[in-house]
Amino acid sequence: MKEFRLLSRVYEHNAALDARVIIPPGDDMGMIRIGGTDVLAAVDQIVAGRHFTLDSTPLSLIGRKAITRNLSDIAAMAARPVAALVAVVLPREWREPQALELFEAMRATAAKYDCPLIGGDISMADAPLTCSVTVLARPGPRGAIRRKGAKVGDAVYISGRLGGSVDADGGGRHLTFEPRVDLALALAERFDVNAMIDISDGLGCDAGHIAEMSGVQIEIDAASLPCSPGCDWRRAMSDGEDYELCFTLAADADLPAEMEGVMLTRVGVVQERMPDQPLIVVHDGGQVIDASSLGWEHGEGHPT
Ligand SMILES: [Mg+2]
């Protein structure tokens, strides 16, 4: 089953949503207007055997990741965390100390990022450990930044480094990354960011969402990609689980090389996309490669 094909069928109903829905399905978070106040919301889940290896991962890191990957979606909108809710399915053989360790990790992580846990639900089943987290947020200083909005001529930037976040044993940076909430707010405060997404499925895939929603093509310069040690540009484009930010803004914006202690790298440009042209192309030496399919599509297998 192709997740994106499935989702495009879901998005067909967006046009019928009423005026309270400010950002419909298809972005990192949805947004509704309640009594004149805009509230962002998103839900995301991690499942043992898909997003982490239960046997080799400390429960504290599983609980942490369940929260931080949702905070990464808040960062993608340049929003401020408000609160979180958690629904878990615990394997039937679990005992109270394990459950408490998991809950404490989720509570403490949420509290650390000013996103207090305010409720949830627990089920026990003959099923893999599953943590489903809903987060609420409010727009940052300049409003929510969406995937659409990239303009022809914009520069494309990446925070941090990409690739190799999942080790062969299932450990690695995908368990310990810092969600870029403060960076995103600082960026939105100082610069006119036109479009933004967090990189969960690989840059090829996620920059492709910006290109698709904005009706443009993104051209990436392979040599400029900030690759993690041991990774080439293909892995930087396709590994996923980086939880860094990809964003576009006017090419003459005077962006520093680092903000909030995080490296910022210009990796490409936004250009016009003609019908039937790929969403993402990579320039590697003299070659131009269609990179739209580099990245992980849910349901098609994953390193963890
Ligand atoms: Mg996201």
Q: Is it the case that residue 302 has pLDDT exceeding 60?
A: no
Residue 119 lies in a domain: yes
Cα 199 to averaged position of ligand 1 atoms, centre (Å): 7
Out of 104, 139, 174, a domain closes at: 139
Who's near 259: CB < 8 A, 6+ residues apart? 183, 186, 187
CA–CA separation, 1 vs 123, rounded Å? 27
Q: Which residue has the tokens 């190799």?
A: 164
pLDDT cut 70: percent of the chain above it: 96
CA–CA separation, 118 vs 107, rounded Å? 9
pTM: 0.94
Cα 266 to averaged position of ligand 1 atoms, centre (Å): 20
276-300 pLDDT per residue, tens: 999 999 999 989 999 887 766 544 4
Who's near 167: CB < 8 A, 6+ residues apart? none
Cα 133 to averaged position of ligand 1 atoms, centre (Å): 13
Out of 139, 174, 200, a domain closes at: 139
Same domain assignment for residues 128 and 219: no
pLDDT for res 301? 42
Same domain assignment for residues 35 and 87: yes
Residue 83 lies in a domain: yes
Same domain assignment for residues 80 and 107: yes
Cβ 191 vs Cβ 183: under 8 Å: no
Cα 297 to averaged position of ligand 1 atoms, centre (Å): 13
**What's the Rg (C-alpha) of the chain?**
19
Ion ligand 1: residue ranges with CB closer than 5 A: 28, 73, 76, 198
CA–CA separation, 38 vs 35, rounded Å? 8
Cα 136 to averaged position of ligand 1 atoms, centre (Å): 14
Domain with residue 213: its CATH number is: 3.90.650.10
Phi, psi of 76 (to 5 degrees): -60, -25
How many Cβ atoms sit within 10 Å of the Cβ of residue 119? 10
Residue 295 lies in a domain: no
143-195 pLDDT per residue, tens: 999 999 999 999 999 999 999 999 888 889 999 999 999 999 999 999 999 99
Phi, psi of 167 (to 5 degrees): -75, 165
CA–CA separation, 246 vs 196, rounded Å? 6
Out of 139, 168, 194, a domain closes at: 139
Phi, psi of 73 (to 5 degrees): -70, -35
Same domain assignment for residues 25 and 101: yes
Cα 147 to averaged position of ligand 1 atoms, centre (Å): 10
Cα 198 to averaged position of ligand 1 atoms, centre (Å): 5
Domain that holds residue 117: 3-139
Number of domains in the chain: 2
CA–CA separation, 199 vs 247, rounded Å? 10
CA distances from 58 to 6, 98, 101, 217, 274 (A): 33, 10, 9, 41, 48
Same domain assignment for residues 94 and 216: no
Looking at residues 229-233, what average pLDDT do you find?
A: 94
pLDDT for res 1? 67
Same domain assignment for residues 170 and 285: yes
Domain with residue 80: its CATH number is: 3.30.1330.10
Cα 209 to averaged position of ligand 1 atoms, centre (Å): 10
Same domain assignment for residues 37 and 90: yes
Who's near 230: CB < 8 A, 6+ residues apart? 164
CA–CA separation, 165 vs 170, rounded Å? 9
Cα 94 to averaged position of ligand 1 atoms, centre (Å): 31
Cα 96 to averaged position of ligand 1 atoms, centre (Å): 32
Same domain assignment for residues 105 and 57: yes
Cα 27 to averaged position of ligand 1 atoms, centre (Å): 8
Same domain assignment for residues 132 and 213: no
Q: Which residues pair with 89 in a beta bridge?
A: 123, 130
Residue 28 lies in a domain: yes
Same domain assignment for residues 82 and 178: no
